[in-house]
């Protein structure tokens, strides 16, 4: 299989087309693009069969890329619009795999002490956690609130434990209906750093984009759907990420 060294399904698809001189769409892959405004673009890649899986090395499922131009100097209005767009793309993906009341577990992958890999643990600090409130103080929780819990399991080099081993124990005990994984994303393009977010519903292989793959976190290994939200916090040259 082609050595893509990128986590982005969109980049993998483009690289495969270029390497094989393909002008039309790749068999087993459907793509659509939407310009939200002059600074915001959404690309949707869907892998539909085994031919598509083999072509770009990604499992069947949905891969949505949100590109935000000049995010580092974006205004509050630009950031709010990007957040709304991300939310609009994420909700249908969640609805495909669980109901609006199903408990979820949010996992922040990465190493808090390594800047290019610290996104996941940092995001966990801003998640609205509700599981303990629903369980112990239900009188203070608005009716219909989803049960949300979160964990930042660290990395193998500091814990000595594979992330999937930690998550299996948690999932078996608290029994969420869906897992949301937050992680940094390796891209081939420096221009994408801090400007690209990918949502996918096929799970994740941590470190795969930089050639240091860990054990898969997916429905195959946890028996519940796994949705990944990944931000281009790093480029393909950041081999210290995992």
Cα separation, 86 vs 64, whole angstroms? 9
Residue 241 maps to a domain: no
Residue 192 maps to a domain: yes
Residue 229 maps to a domain: yes
Burial of 46 (0-12, 13-18, 19+ CB in 10 A): middle
User: What is the extent of the structural domain holding 138?
Assistant: 9-235
Residue 134 maps to a domain: yes
Q: What is the mean pLDDT of residues 9-24?
A: 91
Q: Give CA torsion, residues 231, 235, 239, 242, to 10 deg.
A: 0
Task: Inform me whether the pLDDT recorded for 32 exceeds 80.
Answer: yes
* CATH number assigned to the domain comprising residue 81: 3.40.50.1450
> What residues form DSSP beta bridges with 43?
33, 65
Q: Count of domains in the chain?
A: 1
Taking the CB of residue 159, how many other CB atoms lie within 10 A of it? 12
Cα separation, 172 vs 15, whole angstroms? 39
pLDDT tens digit sequence for 207-242: 554 555 568 999 999 999 999 999 986 544 443 333
Residue 211 maps to a domain: yes
Residue 103 maps to a domain: yes
Residue 215 maps to a domain: yes
Q: What is the mean pLDDT of residues 30-51?
A: 95
pLDDT tens digit sequence for 95-124: 999 999 999 999 999 999 888 889 999 999
pLDDT tens digit sequence for 60-71: 999 999 999 877
Cα separation, 139 vs 123, whole angstroms? 28
Q: What is the pTM of this model?
A: 0.87
Taking the CB of residue 115, how many other CB atoms lie within 10 A of it? 14
pLDDT tens digit sequence for 172-208: 999 999 999 999 887 777 778 778 999 999 999 865 5
Residue 78 maps to a domain: yes
């Amino acid at each position: 299989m082609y050595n893509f060294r990128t986590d982005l399904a969109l980049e993998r698809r483009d690289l495969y087309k270029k390497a094989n001189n393909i002008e039309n769409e790749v068999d087993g892959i459907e793509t659509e693009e939407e310009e939200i405004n002059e600074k915001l673009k959404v690309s949707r890649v869907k892998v539909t069969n085994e031919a598509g899986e083999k072509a770009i090395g990604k499992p069947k499922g949905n891969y949505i890329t949100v590109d935000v131009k000049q995010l580092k100097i974006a205004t509050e209005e630009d950031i709010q619009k990007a957040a709304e767009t991300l939310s609009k793309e994420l909700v249908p993906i969640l609805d495909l795999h669980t109901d609006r009341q199903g408990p979820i577990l949010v996992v922040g992958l990465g190493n808090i002490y390594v800047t290019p890999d610290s996104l996941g643990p940092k995001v966990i600090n801003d998640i609205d956690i509700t599981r303990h409130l629903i369980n112990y103080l239900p009188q203070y929780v608005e009716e219909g609130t989803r049960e949300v819990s979160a964990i930042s399991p660290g990395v193998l080099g500091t814990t000595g434990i594979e992330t999937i081993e930690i998550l299996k124990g948690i999932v078996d005990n608290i029994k969420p209906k869906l897992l949301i994984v937050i992680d940094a994303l390796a891209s081939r393009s420096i221009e994408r750093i801090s400007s690209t977010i990918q949502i996918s519903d096929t799970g994740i292989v941590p470190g795969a984009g930089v050639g240091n793959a860990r054990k898969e976190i997916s429905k195959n290994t946890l028996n519940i759907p796994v949705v990944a939200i990944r931000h281009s916090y790093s480029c393909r040259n950041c081999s210290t990420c995992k």
